[in-house]
């Protein structure tokens, strides 16, 4: 029963959703409307589970003074603090999500700069990695290196100043060889997704049961 | 010191020097404006031309599908299309596929409506024009006339009025966004009974005129993740909504197949794509000057040149030092 019920739900739900996509009938649309209503509710339950699990793990870490337990406060305080500031804190003392509010201030002046900084670090690591990795060690590596240089120069205005052929060649690489390779990869991934989805719907693939299917 | 040692030292250069170099070339162009020209490509022109053909009877979606990490690239794209739409009086629905992206949507609005932004738009809150709405004044031009007759004056430097609920609806984030897109193919109001500011969407004139995605003319997804494909899968393929992509530079190469297949009308790739749109806006008198993306192209030019110089330097050292004949080379720090 523990295995059969989830497998049946997945099979019936999967087949139903597949069929409804191609049937523009009122009944099919009603099924679809029910589905779109249910899903956010199920997701809301998953959110409760997720928050509960995260809180339990980090509270446990703090209680036991486990390694780096101080960082757990950095998880728990914003986890509860931000929703409180957004929804429970009185608007008369800078509550709510809209500007000006404490929530908005924290988002714009802490969250945004932190994320932007983390992403910006990529530029530094890419430069270092390009220096060490782009070596013309073989014919294929040379092709890769030349393509990278042409596309990089073609993407910036200075490339245009060095020669009109640079951005045009860069665009040609993107529009044709790149497109062909990407399409092949996408088709492969698409067929893979299709095969895996069918295996899940028909109960052949049961890893998603998290061990209960064994 | 032997010649080989010099090449080896060069190859094993302390990466902190490289970091310093990138830091310098990223900062200097902010102080010295080179203003190098940006030539537009057909991928961006096609989006511009499409939006330019639309008017107050049409409506578009701008989906803020990016987090602060990629906002340097994605934000200028969304802002440029938003300003283009406001200029042409095209109603704009704004959505976000993740809670963080909701904040990006609000930040974009704040920027476009901020009087310190060159060529800003003066925002009128939904509640502020309630009396006119209740009196049945909802058409854009009659609304402007009635609003100004009430004694309101367009601030100096503003390019025009934008009325919340008439010119834009900040719908924001809703969970399970792929299903939200699917749901909006039937009804936008069902998915968003209230907007991001708690206003009832059912009372908004633009939602009364454009009830579902079937009555919308385009969706731009300014995206930092694969979520942009949801718009193609659930809106383009299901009911033919024209989609435009605004993608980060690293993603842009992945989505050329959609462009060639005609599933998207155009694509802005990275900062360059946003800069191209800004150039088109300025050349056509829609904005008084180019914006952040165009300025950022100088930084990107300098950084790309430095990276290419580093690659050339690395290869010279690699071959001149004879390391191509060896199998092992010490790693750098």
- Condensed to tens digits (0 to 9), the pLDDT of residues B291-317 reads 999 999 999 999 999 999 999 999 999
At A124, give phi and psi (nearest 5°): -70, -45
- What count of other Cβ atoms lies within 10 Å of the Cβ of residue B4? 12
| A36, pLDDT greater than 80 | no
How many angstroms separate the CA of residue A178 from the nearest CA in chain B? Answer: 7
Chain A partners within 8 Å of B110 (Cβ): 99
Residues of chain A above pLDDT 70, percent: 98
- B250, B316: one domain: no
Residues of chain B above pLDDT 70, percent: 96
Name the residue among A21, A98, A123 with its Cβ closest to that of B22: A123
- When mean pLDDT is compared across A133-137, B168-172, B174-178, B327-331, the lowest value belongs to B327-331
Q: Could you say which residues from 21 to 60 on chain A have a Cβ atom under 8 Å away from some Cβ of chain B?
A: 21, 29, 32-33, 35-36, 39-40, 43-44
> From B71, which residue of chain A is nearest by alpha-carbon distance?
A116
Average pLDDT, chain B: 92
- B80, B138: one domain: yes
Name the residue among B41, B67, B297 with its Cβ closest to that of A171: B41
- Averaged pLDDT for residues A68-86: 94
* DSSP state, residue A176: I
| A43, pLDDT greater than 90 | no
Q: What is the DSSP pairing of strand B92-96 with strand B266-269?
A: unpaired
Q: Could you say which residues from 9 to 28 on chain B have a Cβ atom under 8 Å away from some Cβ of chain A?
A: 13, 15, 18-19, 21-23, 26
Chain B partners within 8 Å of A85 (Cβ): none
- B108, B194: one domain: yes
- B285, B253: one domain: yes
Chain A partners within 8 Å of B182 (Cβ): 32, 36
Task: Please answer whether residues B91 and B168 qualify as being in contact, where contact means their C-beta atoms are separated by less than 8 angstroms.
Answer: yes
Give the pLDDT score at B58: 96
| B329, pLDDT greater than 60 | no
Q: Name the nearest CA neighbour of B89 among B293, B286, B265.
A: B286
How many angstroms separate the CA of residue B301 from the nearest CA in chain A? Answer: 5
- B172, B187: one domain: yes
Name the residue among A32, A39, A182 with its Cβ closest to that of B254: A182
Q: Is B301 exposed, middle or buried (0-12, 13-18, 19+ CB in 10 A)?
A: buried
Write out the H or E segment, with its range, that includes residue A91.
none
B331, two tokens: 């790693």
Total domain count, chain B: 2
- B98, B234: one domain: yes
- Averaged pLDDT for residues B53-66: 96
Q: Which residues fall within 8 angstroms of residue B273, CB to CB, at 6 or more apart? A: B43, B44, B77, B246, B247, B252, B267
CA distances (Å), origin A139, targets A132, A144, A149, A209, B90: 17, 9, 15, 47, 52
> From B37, which residue of chain A is nearest by alpha-carbon distance?
A157
Task: Please answer whether residues B232 and B240 qualify as being in contact, where contact means their C-beta atoms are separated by less than 8 angstroms.
Answer: no
- B134, B193: one domain: yes
Give the pLDDT score at B333: 46
Do the Cβ atoms of A116 and B270 come within 8 Å? no
Q: Name the nearest CA neighbour of B89 among B156, B140, B138, B51.
A: B140
| Cα A66 to Cα A86: distance, rounded to the nearest angstrom | 31
How many angstroms separate the CA of residue B78 from the nearest CA in chain A? Answer: 17
Do the Cβ atoms of A123 and B72 come within 8 Å? no
- B28, B134: one domain: no
| A197, pLDDT greater than 50 | yes
* DSSP state, residue A156: S
| Cα A122 to Cα B22: distance, rounded to the nearest angstrom | 11
Please tell me the pTM assigned to this model: 0.89
Do the Cβ atoms of A171 and B197 come within 8 Å? no
What CATH code is carried by the domain that includes residue B83?
Answer: 3.40.50
Give residue B304's domain range. Answer: 1-32+299-333
- B25, B91: one domain: no
> From A35, which residue of chain B is nearest by alpha-carbon distance?
B179
SS3 category, B172:
strand
Q: What share of chain B is helix, strand, coil (3-state, %, to 5)?
A: 55, 10, 30
Q: Could you say which residues from 116 to 135 on chain A have a Cβ atom under 8 Å away from some Cβ of chain B?
A: 116, 118-120, 123-124, 126-128, 130-132, 134-135
- Averaged pLDDT for residues A1-24: 88
Helices first, then strands: H and E counts in chain A: 9, 0
Q: Which residues fall within 8 angstroms of residue B128, CB to CB, at 6 or more apart? A: none
- B239, B333: one domain: no
Residue bearing tokens 């013309």: A136
- B106, B3: one domain: no
- B13, B85: one domain: no
Do the Cβ atoms of B253 and A178 come within 8 Å? yes
């Amino acid at each position: 029963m523990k295995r059969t019920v989830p497998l049946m739900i997945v099979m019936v739900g999967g087949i139903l959703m597949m069929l409804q996509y191609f049937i523009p009938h009122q009944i099919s649309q009603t099924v679809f409307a029910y589905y779109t209503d249910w899903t956010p509710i199920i997701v809301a339950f998953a959110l409760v589970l997720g928050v509960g699990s995260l809180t339990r793990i980090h509270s446990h870490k703090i209680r036991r003074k486990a390694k780096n337990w101080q960082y757990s406060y950095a998880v728990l305080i914003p986890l509860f603090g931000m929703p409180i500031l957004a929804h429970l804190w009185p608007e008369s003392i800078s509550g709510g999500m809209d500007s000006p509010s404490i929530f908005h201030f924290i988002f714009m002046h802490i969250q945004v700069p932190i994320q932007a900084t983390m992403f910006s670090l990529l530029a530094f690591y890419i430069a270092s990695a390009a220096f060490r990795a782009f070596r013309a060690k073989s014919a294929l590596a040379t092709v890769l290196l030349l393509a990278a240089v042409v596309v990089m120069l073609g993407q910036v205005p200075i490339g245009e100043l060095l020669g009109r052929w640079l951005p045009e060649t860069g665009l040609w690489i993107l529009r044709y060889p790149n497109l062909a390779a990407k399409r092949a990869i996408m088709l492969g991934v698409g067929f893979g997704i299709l095969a895996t989805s069918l295996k899940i719907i028909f109960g052949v693939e049961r890893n998603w049961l998290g061990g209960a299917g064994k | 010191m032997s010649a080989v040692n010099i090449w080896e030292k060069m190859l094993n250069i302390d990466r902190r020097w490289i970091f310093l170099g990138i830091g310098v070339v990223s900062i200097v162009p902010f102080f010295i404006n080179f203003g190098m020209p940006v030539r537009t490509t057909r991928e961006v022109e096609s989006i511009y031309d499409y939006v330019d053909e639309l008017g107050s009877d049409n409506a578009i979606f701008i989906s803020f599908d990016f987090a602060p990490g990629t906002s340097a690239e994605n934000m200028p794209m969304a802002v440029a299309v938003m300003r283009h739409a406001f200029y042409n009086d095209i109603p704009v629905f704004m959505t976000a596929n993740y809670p963080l992206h909701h904040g990006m949507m609000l930040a974009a609005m704040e920027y476009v409506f901020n009087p310190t932004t060159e060529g800003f738009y003066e925002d009128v809150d939904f509640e502020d024009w309630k009396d006119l709405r209740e009196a049945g004044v909802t058409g854009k031009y009659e609304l402007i006339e009635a609003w100004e007759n009430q004694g309101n004056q367009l601030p100096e430097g503003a390019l025009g009025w934008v009325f919340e609920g008439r010119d834009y609806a900040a719908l924001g984030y809703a969970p399970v966004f792929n299903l939200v897109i699917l749901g909006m193919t039937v009804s936008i109001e069902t998915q968003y009974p209230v907007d991001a500011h708690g206003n009832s969407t059912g009372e908004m004139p633009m939602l009364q005129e454009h009830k579902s995605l079937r009555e919308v003319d385009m969706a731009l997804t300014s995206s930092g993740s694969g979520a942009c494909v949801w718009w193609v899968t659930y809106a383009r393929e299901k009911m033919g909504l024209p989609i435009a992509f605004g993608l980060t530079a690293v993603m842009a190469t992945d989505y050329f197949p959609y462009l060639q297949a005609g599933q998207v009308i155009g694509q802005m790739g990275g900062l360059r794509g946003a800069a191209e749109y800004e150039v088109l806006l300025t050349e056509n008198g829609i904005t008084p000057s180019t914006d952040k993306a165009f300025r950022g192209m100088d930084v990107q030019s300098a950084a790309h040149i430095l990276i290419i110089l580093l690659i050339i330097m690395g290869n010279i050292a690699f071959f001149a030092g004879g390391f191509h004949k060896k199998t092992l080379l010490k790693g750098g720090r």
